Amino acid sequence: MHIDYYFATISPFTYLTGTRMEEVAARHGATVAYKPLSIMDLFARTGGTPPKDRHESRREYRLQELRRAAAKLGMPINLQPAHWPTNPAPSSYAIIAAAKDGSGDVGELVAGITRACWAEERDIAEDEVIGDCLEAAGFDRSLVNRGMMEGAEIYARNLEDAVAAGVFGAPFYVVGDERFFGQDRIEDLDTYLASL
């Protein structure tokens, strides 16, 4: 069993995923391919609208939904973080380098980076912040500047792979032809993997 995990490091819903997807994958012996991408480019390619361009009622509902989901999960969240939006590419490249390196916990790294943005008021485009997250997840902080050219290529390819796989938001989990959209679909992913 294998999960292609498409996500955006600036996505609050990716933050709310925490490490629950990894727990499900471990329970079923599934492998995970971490595929960070540019959510704004994905929206542009698949008919989505960036939050700032949505109607007021949609923006208000999104904030209510985030507040309720965070409370339900017992996770702190700042609905208007100081450093959002920020450039997601540096943190995404670091995740790609870390996945290739394999010496730490990639799931913890993704959770740490998104937590830095949505709960800790830190700018995840800064090398120091990314380095702290790498270190906390068991990686060498020097990965923040390693393999940047390859990271950029894979980051761009992840967007193409996502569009081809029918992905239109983040987080998104793909198992074969089955797609699961949103942090609130992890139970459905769990149920599906149990049926295989």
Q: Is the pTM of this model over 0.95?
A: yes
Positive or negative: CA dihedral 71, 76, 82, 88: negative
Which residues does residue 3 pair with via DSSP β-bridges, in sequence order?
A: 32
**Number of domain units in the chain:** 1
Positive or negative: CA dihedral 88, 90, 96, 98: negative
Q: What is the CATH number of the domain that holds 38?
A: 3.40.30.10
- Would you place residue 160 in the very low, low, confident or very high pLDDT band (cuts 50, 70, 90)? very high
Instruction: Cite the beta strand spans of 8-161 per DSSP E.
Output: 31-36
Tens-digit pLDDT profile for residues 70-81: 999 999 999 999
Tens-digit pLDDT profile for residues 86-139: 999 999 999 999 999 999 999 999 999 999 999 999 999 999 999 999 999 999
Q: Is 124 within 8 Å of 9 (Cβ atoms)?
A: yes
C-alpha 139/C-alpha 145 separation (Å) is: 13
Q: Is 7 within 8 Å of 132 (Cβ atoms)?
A: no
The per-residue pLDDT for 106 is 98
The per-residue pLDDT for 146 is 87
Helix, strand, coil percentages in the chain from 3-state DSSP, rounded to 5:
60, 10, 30
- Domain span at residue 188? 2-195
What integer best gives the mean pLDDT of the chain?
Answer: 97
The per-residue pLDDT for 147 is 84
Tens-digit pLDDT profile for residues 28-74: 999 999 999 999 999 999 999 999 999 999 999 999 999 999 999 99
